[in-house]
Structure 1
Amino acid sequence: MIKSTVDDNVEGEWNNSNLYSSTKDCEKEERIEFKGNIPQWLKGTLYRNGSGAYEINNDLTTSFNHIFDGFAFIQKYSIDGESKLVKFRGSFIKSHAFTQSLINGHLIVRQFGTDSCKSIFGRFKTLFRGRDPTTYTDDTGVTIQIVHNRLLALTETVTGNILDPDTLQLIGPLITLPYSQPLDSEIMTITTAHIMHDDKRQMTIGYSGRITRKEHWLDVIFISDESFNQDKREDEDIDKSIFVNDRFIHITNNISSQAKDYNNSIKSSTKLFRFPYEYASYMHSASISEDYLILTEIPYHFNKFNAIWNSISGGTITDMFKWNGETMATYFRIISLDTGEQIGRIPGPPFFTFHHINSYQTKHNKNIIIVDICAFDDPRVINEAYLDKLRENKFPSGAGYLRRFKLDLDSNTCIEPNANAREPKGNHCYSYAHSLVPVQFELARINQKYIGKAYRYLYGVRGPPNRLFDALIKLDVESKEQVALWEEPFTSPSEPIFVQRPDSNYDKEDDGIILSIVLDQQAKRSFILVLDGITFKELDRAYLPIHIPLSFHGNFY
């Protein structure tokens, strides 16, 4: 295995606390210089999204509860390898939730695991009256993606944010996806932050779980690139349905013409496919193969009793869900990317997951689908991600494992080719025993050109117990081994983004570089790390003018 390490003799103790300390806006573009061997061909922009503040106005008495609660902080790194320069910006999204919380000195909306209503009586009252539209958060701190030439910041709520790709300024809310329209007796809607782009069909794919008191629905959407680029007709009905919606009235009173036009265009470019949903599952991500969308309905189901208790106790959103993995299966739902029809719903073993890694159909039988997932035995990781625990470096069970599932559409069966590869041990012992590579990790990425295709390499952040994230790894899914490692004492790396060398041959899958934003814990400084994709050796680093707290996802354009 290739190791790229720095002196291990540095004194000190592991301390993640600065990962959860607030940063500041850097809205004026800063120029940063690389000193080493950054490739001249590297040219483009890395955008990242994550939590930039875990309290209000740096007042620790207003600290949020959960790692997923912090206010969204967008970073932009425009990299020019030839000049060895990076143009950096960092900015909080000036959402209604962010701006009004700062004005009022306290959180005004419920985040993932922090309830703005402090009294038990106040929470109890919400069970018997319609939820105030202003309590819906519009802060979106999970992913950042370009869709139809605009930058979208997304999370699991029905509101997105449209940003200017150059300045990072907020253009307005994204409120026009079909699942943004309330359903009769709706309790909640959980959307995917991880939208996907199908290059073959030139469309963006998303989905959402619609939970009501009567029944549940799964909404799948296809947003066409082609129809978006065509001339749009003025449609007063669309306009009315978008901007006269009680759910969003608090953020649409002064909506800009740019945001209005974008919302109208998205609305008219979107097709909706709705499916019955017997057990509404928590689904954070999905994947696409050449012909199909693959969804995992894990046995972590919405539960009405849990929802009532959650409303009273002020727990996390996922406390409204119940783990049924001891008695129920995971179901892989397969949707045609051509027609939007359901092709199959295949039972498989129970597991919990945040992130799909990749899916593809086999070369000799297109009805066989390989699905790779970062899997946990159960959802205990959610309750381990409270900030009071993480700030004390308590993360007892660690991250997930790479598990592979083989779906057969003809026989409607699922098998794990690597089942029982080793004896169970440690935390998430079942996933360990079935893993392709026995190493704990999260935030996996691959060469984007291999999405939906057979691939060999994935890159991730190692996540052992009580460290959260402490190294970057490269896994080989063919040889089933960890083939490279980058680590440095007391540093916390972020999701590794692979950028392919422009003149590389298709069969040289790892011919490129890795970009990661790394926090030096002791100095409270962050830097851009550049690794060689093949050797995993460090090529260069450039220090930023501010520190970057834990960020989740990004993309290079």
Structure 2
Amino acid sequence: MAEAHATTEMMHTAEASNFAPFLRSCKKECSEPVEGKITGEIPRWLRGSLLRNGGGLLEIGTDKFNHAFDSMALMHRFRVRDGHVTYMNRFLHSNAYKRNMSANRIVVTEFGTRGFPDPCKTIFQRFMSKFIIEDFTDNDLLNIIQLGDQFYVCSETNFIHRVDPEKLETMDRVDLSKYLAINTATAHPHFDRDGTYYNMGSGFSLCGPTYNIVKTSPASDVNVNPFETASIVCSIPARYRFKPSYYHSFGMTENYLVFVEQPFFVSIRHLLWLHIKGDAYIDALEWNPKLKVYFHIINKQTGERLPVIYTTSPFLVFHHINAYEDSGHLVVDMCCYNDGEVVKGLCVAELGKIKEDPYHLAELTRCQVRRYVLPMDVSSQDLDRSQNLVKLPGSEATAHFEQDGSVFCQYEALTEAGPGHAEMPGINYAKYNGRKYRFFYALGRKVPNLETYMMKINTETKEIEIWSEEKRIPSEPVFVANPNAVEEDDGILLSSLLHEESEKKVALLILDAKTMKELGRAEFETESSVPGCLHGVFTHLL
């Protein structure tokens, strides 16, 4: 057929899967909890469930998805009680999943894979379908969030799904655009200490695209839809009318929200044309290395933007680590890439080359943790470009006025800029999100074998402690505080641990967050492959 829609010739060998767990496909759910084999010690105070989400099915019939972000969403649950741990997984029964499985082929277009065009649709019908929101994928594979007593899986579209965390059953599909003027939403919302939910979503209108700050109060009842009371706190016009910036997360302090408008754009013209043709959305993304990054600072209470324009040299960010206010400055820590090539690096074809050329993927995914310090009490009346506006003691970051009155910020490196990797960060979120902190935890990758490890970074001393184990692949570290915690790092780290030599084995790994030493683990063996997961949450409710 002339219109190829998915990579049908890509072979997913066991060897490739050993180096890239996101190439695995789960062919049979572990829908009933299985008991884990315990080694070491599971803390007796630990009670609850680690809920994870990620891609789980890369092949449907003879079709194969082209990108790691296209795989059908698979939810995971590790439940811990009285020293025992169980594991289960189930697919999200989204419309995309049901349509693909019913047809036994890929019929819904995903981020990097074109769905097979409906032969019954004319070109005119495909053109009109761009106005029908139902045509967009609802494959929510990125994260699981807890909103009050309710749990939702989400990605970056306007569709999210409420799920039953006990049985991992798909409940209701929520279309956020029915409650708010947004067409996208991030999978990384923030929560105030009173449970208030903040998120960002883009809106598209004849006046041009906007970046909208969304605020929602937690539902007081499990039967109440919390999004019915959602509101837009602030709308920020995009720099370019037909090219809004792509964003995956944002920052939040106690009083402000931090949005990074980066030069990685979604071409609306290209996107509409791709949707008419049925092509994948990845081709609508454009990186422009000649344009600066803009920092937008929004007051959480009033919705007003700070009048100062903050800029810096171009970079790409997926994940904010933390942000906080300190002595008249905003400190913003992020995992930064030099350009947009990392998106291509997560294509199946690139991941399949890992064993032959690991340095290539290491370069594509080169990531550095950077700290930007934004001085808030500044006046552009004195445009002395030689003056460093950052007065924060001990900070290596700088900022100075540009001729146009904007403030240009130069980062302080918290990790080296080599071909290693520092991503999927986590902190003691409940106590230190939006506040001054010392520690964060992340995944790293060694070169040249790209072995994945977990690390703890001290933001003050820049010391790094590492946990690693040969032929084991940890997931994003999730911090759980000790109930009697006094210090910031009093607690444990939870991680889903995969085996290189056996795709059917998975473990829950428990580390002491202070020492990065293993406390214990629970090992499981399932009937099918367990793919890599992305993000999730630990809840004490289950």
Classify the TM-score, shorter chain.
0.7 to 0.9
* Conservation of the 8 A alpha-carbon contact between 1:461 and 1:470: yes
Identity %: 28
Indicate how the Cα distance of structure 1 residues 274 and 104 shifts in structure 2: closer, same or farther if over 3 A, else same: same
SS in 1 for 2:519: strand
Which amino acid in the other structure matches residue 437 of structure 1? T
**2:107 counterpart of 1:108:** yes
User: How much does 1:211 deviate?
Assistant: 3.4
The one-letter amino acid of 1:95's match is: S
- Look up the match of 1:5: none
CA distance in 1, matches of 2:165, 2:234: 30
Aligned twin of 1:408? 375
What SS class does the counterpart of residue 170 from structure 1 fall into? strand
1:285 alignment partner, SS class:
coil
CA contact (8 A) 2:367 2:422 kept: yes
Q: CA deviation at 1:442?
A: 0.8
**CA distance in structure 1 between the aligned counterparts of 2:121 and 2:317, rounded to whole angstroms:** 33
2:475 and 2:379 mapped to 1: Cα distance?
Answer: 38
Given the superposition, is the C-alpha separation of residues 512 and 98 from structure 1 closer, same or farther in structure 2, using an over 3 Å criterion? same
**What corresponds to 2:7 in structure 1?**
none
Q: 5 Å matches for 1:200-211?
A: 201-211=194-204
Aligned pair in 2 of structure 1 residues 474, 301: CA closer, same or farther (>3 Å)? Answer: same
Q: Which amino acid aligns with 1:145?
A: I
Residue 299 of structure 2 corresponds to: 336
State the partner residue of 2:522. Answer: 542
Query: Contact 1:221–1:272 (CA<8 Å) still a contact in 2?
Result: yes
Measure the CA separation in 2 of the matches of 1:94 and 1:135.
16
Q: Is residue 386 of structure 1 aligned with residue 347 of structure 2? A: yes
Match of 1:500 among 477, 481, 492: 481
Q: Given the alignment of the two structures, is residue 49 of structure 1 paired with residue 45 of structure 2, yes or no?
A: no
Residues in 2 aligned to 1:13 and 1:45: alpha-carbon distance in whole angstroms: 31
- Structure-to-structure mapping, 1:94-133, within 5 angstroms: 94-117=93-116, 128-131=127-130, 132-133=132-133
Which ranges in structure 2 are unaligned for 5 or more consecutive residues? 1-14, 381-388, 399-409
Give the letter for the 1:195 counterpart: P
Q: TM-score, normalised by structure 2?
A: 0.82
1:125-524 matches, within 5 Å, as: 128-131=127-130, 132-176=132-176, 189-199=183-193, 201-212=194-205, 214-225=207-218, 228-229=219-220, 262-263=224-225, 265-279=226-240, 280-304=244-268, 306-307=270-271, 310-311=274-275, 316-326=280-290, 328-344=291-307, 345-362=309-326, 364-365=327-328, 368-393=329-354, 395-397=361-363, 398-411=365-378, 417-418=395-396, 435-438=413-416, 440-448=421-429, 449-464=431-446, 470-482=452-464, 484-505=465-486, 508-524=487-503
Question: Aligned pair in 2 of structure 1 residues 222, 316: CA closer, same or farther (>3 Å)?
Answer: same
Cα distance in 2, alignment partners of residues 435 and 549 from structure 1: 33
Code of the residue aligned with 1:404 in structure 2: it is R
Contact 2:143/2:188, CA 8 A, preserved across alignment: yes
**Alpha carbons of 1:202 and 1:543: their partners in 2 closer, same or farther (altered >3 Å)?**
closer
Q: CA deviation at 1:121?
A: 13
Q: Distance in 1 between matches of 2:53 and 2:254?
A: 28
For 1:237, the equivalent position in structure 2 comes to none
Using the TM superposition, name which of 98-107 and 16-25 deviates more. 16-25
Cα 1:284–1:502 change in 2 (3 A) is: same
User: TM-score of the superposition, structure 1-length normalised?
Assistant: 0.80
Superposition deviation, residue 119 in structure 1: 9.4
Contact kept, 8 Å, 1:209 with 1:281, in 2: the verdict is no
The residue aligned with 1:3 is none
Shift of 1:143: 0.7
Distance apart, 1:418 and its partner CA:
4.1
Mean Cα displacement is larger for which, 350-359 or 31-40? Answer: 31-40
Give aligned pairs, total.
485
Q: Which residue of 1 aligns with 2:3?
A: none
Q: CA deviation at 1:197?
A: 0.4
For residue 171 of structure 1, report the CA deviation from its aligned partner. 1.3
Aligned counterparts of 2:212 and 2:120: Cα–Cα separation in 1:
34
In the TM superposition, 1:6-25 aligns within 5 A as 15-23=18-26, 24-25=28-29
- AA at the equivalent of 1:527: A
Secondary structure of 2:67's partner?
coil
Task: Evaluate the alpha carbon distance shift between residue 13 and residue 321 of structure 1 in structure 2; reply closer, same or farther with a 3 A threshold.
Answer: closer
Paired residues of 1:498 and 1:515 also in contact (CA < 8 A): yes
Contact 2:17/2:23 (<8 A) preserved: no
In structure 2, C-alpha distance between the alignment counterparts of 1:123 and 1:475, rounded to whole Å = 55
